[in-house]
Structure 1
């Protein structure tokens, strides 16, 4: 009976160590599958979303710049942007952030991921001219390392 109990505890201990090692390896290496700049077009407005320092750092403010242009390539200004970070496969909640227009069509803000891994940055852009129109929604992956 004691031998069986020791064997069972050894198996559980090995399983815990292997699982912890696997998770540590997966979280500690950036996937680098997502480039620093991602372009996305929604309803004729293109958002060029850039994290200048990439991959992003956990528990630190990470600058996000967004350039909005219309179909003619002109700056799309006058939008109110807000964003949030979330980890799609984790129950970490969301981390909200805001972006300010620093020049026509150019918006800047900072986001702070809470842990290593792959995050999703979701951006909502509400235009002032079309008060009744739904906001435009943009999103991109964000790789986070140390």
Structure 2
């Protein structure tokens, strides 16, 4: 069974979980870390169960807590090289992603398999790095 949870959608933060029976993917992590921890507790979830974080683009409302979550729980972060560079430069991202957790893909060229999910990234025009 597939499950979807939205922790925020808008300029104050975007973050979602997509879950199968065996795999949990976080899509963006732009909600503040304290709020994320509160949401996880309310839903009875554990950050340690997240298999990967997929980042759509480098705006603060999509990446604010990506470094904190990735580093604290050793979760790989998938994004284009340009988006990873944008995250590094983003002053709203206080904890940057450790190099060991970075995973790079090429939109349209790569298909990423993460346990139960097969992801094919693609470009969407937007005013951010790599888009």
Q: Aligning the two structures, in what range does the TM-score lie when normalised by the shorter sequence? A: under 0.3
Q: Which has the higher helix share?
A: 2
If you compute each CA radius of gyration, which structure gives the higher value, 1 or 2?
1
